[in-house]
Amino acid sequence: MITNKLQNINNYKGLSKHIDTVINYIIEHDLNKIDFGKYIINDDIFFIKSKYTTKSRKDSFYEAHLKYIDFQVILEGEELIYGSDVENLTETTKYSNESEAAFYKGKFQWCILGAESTFAIFYFDDGHMPGVTNKNSSDIVKVVFKINGDK
């Protein structure tokens, strides 16, 4: 898991060619001006811009992916994102190709505050629980880039 402010995004160039593609896209486009929905960048990268309201931790769950790395950018709002290495979690729903995720429960190893103009990158072993209310419920506007990790 990697997290930082968008102003520092250039520091993460060189991790992979696909992450570089996402970073360049973020730099070259105003994500705030893009409509909600799903967009294809190339055969290995797409993104979804969505809006949702945070919820309590007891009503949330961990997810992890096998095909796509999550590169999440928060444009508005504030959420807690809990996480743990998947080997420390208990699988509650097996991986499905349709959701491209498996779901888990368990104790967290780390927690980050996802706030406006921050990003986080979650790899395959990063069980992550986004969308958790911090102090007060918050409407979140987020762009999630899905990066094919098979290549």
Query: d(Cα 70, Cα 120) in Å, to the nearest integer?
Result: 8
Over the stretch 53-112, which tens digit does the pLDDT of each residue have?
999 999 999 999 999 999 999 999 999 999 999 999 999 999 988 889 999 999 999 999
Q: Given this model, what pLDDT does residue 149 score? A: 85
Q: Given this model, what pLDDT does residue 150 score? A: 60
Determine the structural domain holding residue 137 and report its residue range.
2-148
Cα–chain-centroid distance for residue 52? 14
CATH number at residue 10: 2.60.120.370
Mean pLDDT of 7-29: 96
**β-bridge mates for residue 78, sequence order:** 115
Closest CA to 45 of 20, 28, 22: 22
Q: Given this model, what pLDDT does residue 19 score? A: 96
Over the stretch 41-56, which tens digit does the pLDDT of each residue have?
999 999 999 999 999 9
Q: Given this model, what pLDDT does residue 97 score? A: 87
Q: Are 76 and 53 in contact (CB under 8 A)?
A: no
As given in the structure block, the two tokens for residue 129 are: 């629980």
Place 151 in a pLDDT band, splitting at 50, 70 and 90: very low
Closest CA to 150 of 122, 124, 121, 117: 124
Total tally of structural domains belonging to the chain: 1
